[in-house]
Amino acid sequence: MTIFQRILAGEIPAKIVHEDNDILAFHDIAPQAPVHILIIPKRLIPRVGEAHDSDAELLGRLLLVARDIAKVQGLDQTGYRLIINNGRDGGEEVPHLHIHLLGGRRLSWPPG
């Protein structure tokens, strides 16, 4: 089980900011910005590169939930970044698709 599956199972506590039938969002335990929230599907999709066409609706909903959380966090006026890592060279650490929502400070480009 990945750490995200363990959070979903209630084995590991998380500071949850959003939950519905398909999606969970919570604060990252090692934040890289003042606001750093992870948004995950409850159904395991290891990475975006392994998503199926049948996942299209869920993938779209992940982005809309990220938008809504950014508004609640007050980031919609100043800006924020959404990041999806795919594979080792892409910076993926947990093989469970997730979106990083970062904001609350000016973010540099390129990211690294």
Q: What's the angle, vertex CA 77, arms to CA 76 and CA 82, rounded to 5?
A: 40
Amino acid at 31: P
Does 27 participate in catalysis according to the annotation? no
Sheet hosting strand 35-41, strand order edge to edge = 16-19, 23-27, 35-41, 99-103, 80-83
Which residue from 71, 88, 82, 77 is spatially nearest to 38, judged by alpha carbons?
82
Q: CA 28 to CA 15: how far, in whole Å?
A: 8
Catalytic residue among 18, 27, 52, 98: 98
Active site members: 98
